[in-house]
Amino acid sequence: MPYYVYKISTSEGIDLVKRLELLATHEAYRDAKRQAKQLRVESAESDVVYKIMFADNELAAEEQLLEKREKPVLMEHER
């Protein structure tokens, strides 16, 4: 399964809508990680996030990125 590098941006004032842009596909995690780190350093935009997704195909990767995840509940001893 390949690693996908995505650029994720949001519109001003609208956090629910994410724009995904596939930047690259890599077979090795090391290459994807290197590219994502480089993009993060070079990026001056504060509302842009670069992520690596490991998935069967582009559609599965985008579904995972757009999935709404709830914050985990912290137990008293974990704080």
Host domain of residue 46: 3-67
Asked, for residue 76, whether it belongs to a domain, the answer is no
The reported pLDDT for the residue numbered 52 is 96
Asked, for residue 30, whether it belongs to a domain, the answer is yes
Rounded CA gap, 29 and 54, in Å?
9
pTM, to two decimals: 0.79
- 62 pLDDT higher than 80: yes
Number of CB atoms found within 10 A of residue 18's CB: 15
Beta bridge partners of 31: none
Number of CB atoms found within 10 A of residue 4's CB: 24
Q: Which residue matches tokens 């757009």? A: 66
- 43 pLDDT higher than 70: yes
Asked, for residue 78, whether it belongs to a domain, the answer is no
Q: What is the mean pLDDT of the chain?
A: 87
Asked, for residue 7, whether it belongs to a domain, the answer is yes
The reported pLDDT for the residue numbered 33 is 96
Q: pLDDT over 90 for what percent of the chain? A: 57
Task: Please give the C-alpha separations between residue 77 and each of 71, 72, 73, in angstroms, as whole numbers.
Answer: 17, 14, 12
Mean pLDDT over 38-63 rounds to 90
